[in-house]
Structure 1
Amino acid sequence: MSIETTHTLVVGAGQAGIAMSEHLRADGIEHVVLEKDRVAESWRTARWDSLVANGPAWHDRFPNLEYPKSGPDEFPPKEEVVDYFTHYAQRIDAPIRTGVEVTSCERLHGRPGFRVETSLGALEVRNVVAATGAFQVPVIPKLVPEDTDIAQLHSHDYRNPDQLGEGAVLVVGAGSSGTQIADELNRAGRTVYLSIGPHDRPPRAYRGRDNVWWLGVLGKWDAATPPGGAEHVTIAVSGARGGETIDFRRMAGHGITLLGRTDRFEDGVMHFNPDLATNIARGDANYLSLLDEADAYVLRNELDLPEEIEAREIGPDPDCMTKQILELDLAEAGIGTILWATGYENDYGWLKVDNALDEAGRPNHRRGVSEEPGIYFLGLPWQSRRGSSFIWGVWHDAKYISDHIAKLDGYLSYRPTAHGDSE
């Protein structure tokens, strides 16, 4: 029985896989894209109902196609994002096969390439691009036993307030997901507690320009991966309700109880670090520093952008900041649900090749090019720069990988001229 062959296999048909397919086709590289579910599945089923893109439509897209419905300064809802990627895949005639799961990838013996086992059979390929992105396995800290009376779910599985049972909700994690979900629950009349760790808090917009514009002109999108794990710093930003700056003090004023970073759970009591005020102060400092850089840029370039003095106004600290709650008896507080907005981890268990992953199972790579020849990664946070995990950023990273594959093919196709042939 013959085994199907192709030059390059792309695993995943989200934004990363679609971008990869576009560039491979442009470089004339034969390839197949395998997706275990549907195109853009994470946008369909791993997001809550009211989610919108975190960047405006003029920016949060591929360079060659605009959104059909949302205006340039609007934040597309997730349904439009799904339609966008589905249409884009059709537009570039991406060779995507859905409903096909990759179960293993091993290097061939005695010849170049890999044998890839899938739910529909095997393939032999020269290259493999793992375009499965950054949101693979939801992480729920093992703090609260599963046999308690309190329901626990990850933001990955949250859809809307009606999904949750009765009682108050403790949201752990104050990045984009945690803050938006906490705010939505509060607006729906739920009692909400929000546990906040260290974070950056950029302005949604300033002096008539969205944050993404400022990051661009200030050169911050091209920032290299920071040292010491700083690449994992939480970013509190939202496109909800037309886009607004996250303000934890305002959220407290609307009834949300703020807490420090979650520490441990003992005998029905959740314990929190006494770092709430510190975390919010550092977020404020990050916010104000970007305003400073923006003001300096306006002055240096003599731009006619209106001043926004009120943007620097920081409201008074609410009681939950000045009198921090360090222990919370969940039953007494009436908490029926803990919602963990605590991020994701990678799952490359199918990738059974040397050098591609480190001892912790994380990709060994430089700009997506693995330490294992022929293996590539795409869609990782900070893959090449700050913008790598964003829609437009992954498109540029995909081009780099495709160019790398094409360049290597050029070397491999070289055949030296036989001695005397030119005489």
Structure 2
Amino acid sequence: MKDLRKHYSAIIIGGGQAGLSVSHYLQQQAIGHLVIEKHSLMHSWQTARWDSFTLVTPNWQCQLPDHPYDGDDPKGFMKRDDVVAYLDRFATKVQPPALEGVAVNRVSLNSNGKYAVKSSAGEFSADQIVVASGGYHLPIIPRMAERLPDRLFQLHSAEYRSPEQLPEGAVLVVGSGQSGAQIAEDLHIAGRKVFLATGDAPRVARQYRGKDVVEWLDEMGYYEMLVDQHPLREGVRDNTNHYVTGRDGGREIDLRKFALEGMELFGLLEEYRNGDFIFRDNLQANLDHADSVYCNINQRIDAYIASQGIEAPPASEYTPCWEPNQERSELNLVDAGISAVIWCIGFRPDFHWLDASVFNGQGHPIHKRGVTQQPGLYFIGLPWLHTWGSGRFSGVAADAEYLVERIKAYQRQQDAALQPLSEQASA
């Protein structure tokens, strides 16, 4: 980057779609800023997705600032390489003033009210800081993993690429959220023997009554629901996403169907002891919970169709295609022929570099629509930042535009405070 300065009106930390969306609106307002990215722009999309990855939301929901989906399949689901290309085109449009390959080591507030940014490329300062590094930083791997045999191949879902990456043998997939369910399916389709340790993740239909469920929910206003309007309030930010897939044109995922086809399902993985994996006896409860959410969403769509007098195909009722006869609570590693374990149990946030008293006990930032109680400090790109759509390509533009308005207002306030009293009186 040319003409690198030491002080900026705003510094954005993170060069993904959220950070670049903020840069887009800052440029429109002629507010000087710098984007600092630890790797390369859109790095996580390029490196942290498996080979068969697809979006789980339809392409038409890709609505980045002045960059809507520009392909010929709006109701389809972009594959990983297509998503990367879409985001690269967005970055080319924005042309952010960015430093790539630069790690931020410390951000703190000086006594003069400016933010000091220490990085691997030197020190900078800013009037305001936008944290756009997301909330998925540290892969969660339980301590029991340390006691598994050295011969066992272990990796986190963020490192998974394809079945060919794993040694021959059966695979234990731990976790049934979006990543776990889709990775288990990927291995299952490839003919691998899969054991799946389930959790309490909900599921959703792909198509229902003539439309993709996402289209129905969008029409019903669900993606514009404010976090304050949700029954759980801020607690909804901790919810696991519904599992579904955009693979092969999009379809729902039913773990019961996998079980009919030979995948072995278990409850929550609790322990590893003397060569045995120990599971909680809650497989039935996990499956029933996922199905109850699935059915509840369909019923809400039914009610909406009825209330609006919409002509649509008739409603249908889900019937479980498989039930566990007797839940198994133990699985012997050797007897099962397991050669690999994939941990699909999420991430922890890591904002250790940010010296600010704006975090809760779990390390998540406390904010109102991305605005923290510390003046000039903002977050973007987090689930349920403001609405359900905040964590999707459909909602980041509105979040970014709102934050830039706040940044602009704060800048005006600071500029006014610096004016001599005589100038303020004559203004």
Question: If the TM-score is normalised by the length of the shorter chain, which range does it land in?
Answer: over 0.9
- Is the contact between residue 172 and residue 262 of structure 1 (CA under 8 Å) also seen in structure 2? yes
**Partner of residue 403, structure 2:** 401
How far has the Cα of 1:229 moved from its partner?
A: 4.1
Is residue 259 of structure 1 aligned with residue 266 of structure 2?
yes
Distance, in Å, in 1 between the alignment partners of 2:361 and 2:144 is 25
**Partner of residue 287, structure 2:** 280
SS in 2 for 1:221: helix
Is residue 233 of structure 1 aligned with residue 236 of structure 2?
no
Is residue 349 of structure 1 aligned with residue 352 of structure 2?
yes
How far has the Cα of 1:129 moved from its partner?
A: 0.8
**Partner of residue 326, structure 2:** 323
- Is the contact between residue 368 and residue 376 of structure 1 (CA under 8 Å) also seen in structure 2? yes
SS in 2 for 1:182: helix
* Worse overlay, 82-91 or 184-193: 82-91
Is residue 292 of structure 1 aligned with residue 287 of structure 2?
no
How far has the Cα of 1:57 moved from its partner?
A: 0.7
How far has the Cα of 1:55 moved from its partner?
A: 0.8
**Partner of residue 360, structure 2:** 358
Is residue 334 of structure 1 aligned with residue 337 of structure 2?
yes
* Worse overlay, 167-176 or 69-78: 69-78
SS in 2 for 1:293: helix
- Counterpart amino acid of residue 56 in structure 2: N
Match of 1:314 among 319, 335, 359: 319
**Partner of residue 146, structure 2:** 145
How far has the Cα of 1:328 moved from its partner?
A: 0.7
Distance 1:252 1:411, change over 3 A: same
Distance, in Å, in 2 between the alignment partners of 1:352 and 1:421 is 37
| CA deviation string 1:128-183 (max 9, x = no partner) | 11100122111111123256132211000000000001210010111111111101
How far has the Cα of 1:410 moved from its partner?
A: 2.5
Distance, in Å, in 2 between the alignment partners of 1:200 and 1:74 is 23
Cα RMSD between the aligned structures? 2.2
**Partner of residue 217, structure 2:** 215
Distance, in Å, in 2 between the alignment partners of 1:362 and 1:291 is 32
**Partner of residue 135, structure 1:** 136
Distance, in Å, in 2 between the alignment partners of 1:222 and 1:273 is 37
Match of 2:62 among 60, 63, 69: 60
Distance, in Å, in 1 between the alignment partners of 2:24 and 2:17 is 11
- Counterpart amino acid of residue 300 in structure 1: S
Distance 1:28 1:146, change over 3 A: farther
| CA deviation string 1:203-239 (max 9, x = no partner) | 1121222222222222322332525844333221211
| CA deviation string 1:247-274 (max 9, x = no partner) | 1111112221111111111111111111
How far has the Cα of 1:70 moved from its partner?
A: 4.9
Distance 1:290 1:32, change over 3 A: same
TM-score by length of 2: 0.92
Distance, in Å, in 2 between the alignment partners of 1:19 and 1:352 is 25
Q: How many residues align?
A: 416
* Worse overlay, 217-226 or 393-402: 217-226
Distance, in Å, in 1 between the alignment partners of 2:25 and 2:279 is 48
- Is the contact between residue 174 and residue 197 of structure 1 (CA under 8 Å) also seen in structure 2? yes
Could you list the runs of 5+ residues in structure 2 that have no partner in the other structure? none
- Is the contact between residue 63 and residue 392 of structure 1 (CA under 8 Å) also seen in structure 2? no
SS in 2 for 1:145: helix
Distance 1:52 1:169, change over 3 A: same
Distance 1:173 1:240, change over 3 A: same
**Partner of residue 154, structure 1:** 156
Superposed counterparts of 1:45-194, under 5 Å: 45-62=47-64, 64-109=66-111, 111-145=112-146, 148=149, 149-194=151-196
| CA deviation string 1:318-342 (max 9, x = no partner) | 4xx2211111111111111110111
| CA deviation string 1:339-388 (max 9, x = no partner) | 011111111111123x1323443212221112221211111111112221
Distance, in Å, in 2 between the alignment partners of 1:144 and 1:99 is 31
| CA deviation string 1:3-52 (max 9, x = no partner) | 71111000111111111111212222111111111111111111101101
- Is the contact between residue 57 and residue 66 of structure 1 (CA under 8 Å) also seen in structure 2? no
Distance, in Å, in 2 between the alignment partners of 1:112 and 1:156 is 38
- Is the contact between residue 16 and residue 378 of structure 1 (CA under 8 Å) also seen in structure 2? yes
